[in-house]
Structure 1
Amino acid sequence: MSFLLYGANGYTGQLIARHAKDAGLSPLLAGRNEQKINALADALNCPWRAFDLSETEKLDAALREVPVVLHAAGPFNRTARPMMEACLRTGTHYLDITGEMAVFEMGYHFDEKAKKAGVMLMPGVGFDVVPTDCLALHLKNRLPDATHLRLAFGTPRGGVSHGTAMTMVENLGEAGAVRKNGKIVRVPLGHKTLRFPGGGKALFAMTIPWGDVSTAYRTTGIPNIEVYMSVAPSAYRQVKWSRHFGWLLRTEFVKNIARRKVGQRPAGPSDAQRAGSHACLWGEVRNEKGQTRQATLTTPEGYTLTVLTSLLILQKVLSSDLKTGFQTPAGAYGEGLILEAEGTERKDLD
C-alpha cells in the first residue's frame, strides 16, 4: 500500500525508503530537493513529489493521495507543525521519527482536533521513543502505583546522521528538562547522573530533555520522570562547563559554525557501523513505599531500529489498526510493541 515519505532523501529517509520497498510497500517519496528526490525515486522505481512544507497546495495535494504520512524531515521543531496541520486539513494520519519533547507536546495539544478530523497523530515512531515508551509501560504494569520513573539508554559504537546532528545544533545552549509532580520543569542539562547496566558493564549517563519526559507521562501517568543518555565522563565535564556559556551557544554565529562542521561529516553511520552496534536501555520505577522494579532492553542500533519500528507501525496504520487523536507508541499498541521488532530482548532485573 502507498504512503507519503517526506524527507526521503535524508539519511534515515533513504534507509526507510529502501526497506519499505523490500517489504512490498509503495512509498510516495517527497522532499524539498527535487534533484535528490528524483534520483532516489529513479533508483527505487518509486513515484515522487518535490515541495517545501510552506507550499501548502502541493503539500495538501500529496497528502490527499495517501492515507498516512511518515515524516522524516527534521529539525522537527520547525517541520512538524506545518505537516500536522496539513494532516488535519486533509484527514491524513501522521507519523514521524522525532525525539523532540516540544513536538510531542504540540501533538498532544492537537488531540481534540485530530479526533474530530478522524486522524491519528503519532510522533516518535523510531528509536525516539518506541523502545523507551514500551519499557516505561512495562515497568508501570509491573508496579501499578509507581510515582517515579527513570529511563536510560546508550548506543555503544553508534554514530549520528546529519539530521540528528543538525537537531543537536538547533538545541545548543538550551536547558534540560524533567517531569516533576506532573509538570515539565526546566533544569540544567546533565543536572543528574547515574550508572546503568548495559552491554555487560555499567554505563555512565546524564539527564537530557528526551521525548519521554512528555510521552511516558501520557503513556503511564507517572508524574515524576527523568531520562538519561550515556556519555563519556569527559563529555559530561564539557556539558557542565558549557552551562556558563548558554547565551553564546544559542547565537546564530556559533550555530552556523556548528552547521558547517556537521556538513563536513559523513551522512550517517555506515552499514557496517550499524550492524556492529546495538542499543542498551534500562528503566526503573519506584512507588511511595520505596518499592522498585527494574528492567533492561537490548535493541538493534538506533537508526536500524528506527527503520524497523517506523515500518512496523506504518503497516499497522495501513491495515486500519489505529486510534484517532494524539497517541504514543506503547499507549496505542502496548508494551509488547517493541518485541515485535527483530533483534530486541527485554529482561526484568527483579
Structure 2
Amino acid sequence: MTGRILLYGATGYTGRLIAEQAAGRGLDIVLAGRDAASVAKVAAPLGLPHGAAALDDAAGLDRLLAGVAVVLHVAGPFSATSRPMVEACLRNRVHYLDITGEIAVFEHCAAMGAKAAAAGIMLMPGVGFDVVPSDCLAAHAARRLPGATRLTLAMSGLNAMSRGTAKTSIESVAKGTAVRRGGRLTEVDTVPRRRFDFGKGPVDGIGVSWGDVSTAYHTTGIPDIDVYFETTPELARIMGLPRFVRKLMGTAPLQALLKKAVDRMPAGPGAEHRKTARALLLAEVEDADGRLLRSRLEVIEPYALTVETALLIAGKAAAGAVRPGFGTPAGVYGPDLILEIPGSRRDDLNA
C-alpha cells in the first residue's frame, strides 16, 4: 500500500511543475506551503488537497504531517528551510526528501542519520537534478573501478535556472570552491579550471561547489572529489571577479540587492526549453596505480528531470522502498536509478 506524499513548496516554480505532473498521474499527494491562499490557488485547478503551515510553526507542521508517509520538500533556499522540516519529519516519523544542491544541507542530514535511523525514517536530500544523475554516474564509475581514489564530475547544459536556484547561487558567491580532499570537505581560493570533452570537442570547465562534493563521497567513499560546470559567459564573469569583490557581494546589503534583482527574472525556463534541452554529465575516476576510466550520461533538461526523479523517488519511498537513516539516491536505489527516467543514456567512454 502506498502512503501519502506531502509536497511542501508547491507555489514555487519547481513545486508547480511537480504538482501538475503528480495530479496528472493520480498520485496521493497533498500540496502545502507557508501561505494558505497561495497554495489553494495552485491546488484548486488541479483538484488536489492542500494545507499550510509556516516553517517556524512546529505545531502547524505537526498537523500538516499527520497521516503523511513522505515529505517532498521543494521550498528553498534549503539553507534556511531544511532544518525545521527535517525536525518535523523526525518528530512525526515521516520520510524526508528535498531537491537541494547545497553541501551544508547534505552534511547536516548526514549528521542526523543516526537519529533518523532510530526513528525508522529516511533522510534523502537531493532528489532532483541536484544530485540524482551525477550521484548515479559517480556510483557507476566507482563500480567500474573499485578502489578509485579520485573522482571528477563535469556537467554541461545548466545555462537556464529558476529564481530559487539563482538565489542559492548568490548565497555562495563569496565562498571559495568546495572540494573533497582525503575524505574531508575543504575550500580552495583559486577557482579550479579544466577542459572537458562532452562529445563535441574540448570545452572549458570551471570548478563549482556542487552537492556531489558531499554526496558522492557518502555514495562511493572516494576520498578526492571535484565538480565542474562547462563555462558559460555569466559563470566566467562571476568567478573571474577578484576574491575581495566576491566577498563584498556576500555582505547582507549586497545579497539583498542581488536577490531583489533575481525577483525580476522569469520564474524559470519555459515549457519549450524544458521539452527540448538536454544535459550531459561526465565522470572520471582514477586509482592509485594511475588507471583512469570515464563515463558519460545524457539526460533530459534539468528542471524536467527534477520533476521526474523527485516523483520517482517519492513514489518509491511512499511504497516503503526506503533505508532508514541518511541516504543518497544512488546509495539507496543503485547506480541504474537514473536509467528509469525515459531519455537517459549512459555510455562508458573507455574500458
Q: C-alpha distance in 1, partners of 2:233/2:148?
A: 30
Q: Is the 8 A contact 1:173 1:246 kept in 2?
A: yes
Gaps of 5+ in 1: none
Match of 1:183 in 2: 184
Q: Give a deviation string over 1:166-191, Cα, whole Å, max 9, x none.
A: 11122231221100011111112x62
SS of match in other structure, 1:256: helix
> Which amino acid is 1:162 matched to?
R
Q: C-alpha distance in 2, partners of 1:106/1:175?
A: 20
Paired residue for 1:22, among 21, 24, 34?
24
SS of match in other structure, 1:21: helix
Q: C-alpha distance in 1, partners of 2:83/2:230?
A: 30
Match of 1:209 in 2: 209
Distance 1:194 1:233, change over 3 A: farther
Distance 1:115 1:201, change over 3 A: same
Match of 1:71 in 2: 73
Distance 1:18 1:237, change over 3 A: closer
Q: C-alpha distance in 1, partners of 2:296/2:202?
A: 12
Match of 1:198 in 2: 198
Structure 1 residue 234 displacement after superposition = 6.7
Among the aligned pairs, what percent are the same residue?
A: 46
> Which amino acid is 2:293 matched to?
R
Q: C-alpha distance in 1, partners of 2:216/2:102?
A: 13
Match of 2:169 in 1: 168
SS of match in other structure, 2:141: helix
Q: Is the 8 A contact 1:199 1:280 kept in 2?
A: no
SS of match in other structure, 1:222: coil
Q: Give a deviation string over 1:80-116, Cα, whole Å, max 9, x none.
A: 1111111000000000000000000000000110010
Structure 1 residue 27 displacement after superposition = 1.6
Q: Is the 8 A contact 1:279 1:300 kept in 2?
A: yes
Structure 1 residue 136 displacement after superposition = 0.5
Q: C-alpha distance in 1, partners of 2:237/2:249?
A: 16
Structure 1 residue 237 displacement after superposition = 4.8
Structure 1 residue 279 displacement after superposition = 0.5
Q: C-alpha distance in 2, partners of 1:348/1:215?
A: 22
> Which amino acid is 1:344 matched to?
S
> Which amino acid is 2:182 matched to?
N
Tell whether 2:287 aligns with 1:287: yes
- The residue correspondences of 1:16-165 to structure 2 (distance < 5 A) are 16-155=18-157, 158-165=159-166
Query: How many pairs are equivalent?
Result: 348
> Which amino acid is 2:259 matched to?
R
> Which amino acid is 1:179 matched to?
R
Q: TM-score, normalised by structure 1?
A: 0.96
Q: Is the 8 A contact 2:176 2:191 kept in 1?
A: no
Q: Is the 8 A contact 1:76 1:103 kept in 2?
A: yes
Gaps of 5+ in 2: none
Q: Is the 8 A contact 2:191 2:239 kept in 1?
A: no
Q: C-alpha distance in 1, partners of 2:336/2:160?
A: 27
Q: TM-score, normalised by structure 2?
A: 0.96
CA-atom RMSD, angstroms?
1.4
> Which amino acid is 2:281 matched to?
L
Following TM superposition, the consecutive aligned residue runs of length 4 or more in structure 1 with deviations greater than 4 angstroms are none
Match of 2:236 in 1: 236
Q: C-alpha distance in 2, partners of 1:248/1:234?
A: 18
Tell whether 2:319 aligns with 1:319: yes
> Which amino acid is 2:214 matched to?
S
SS of match in other structure, 2:148: coil
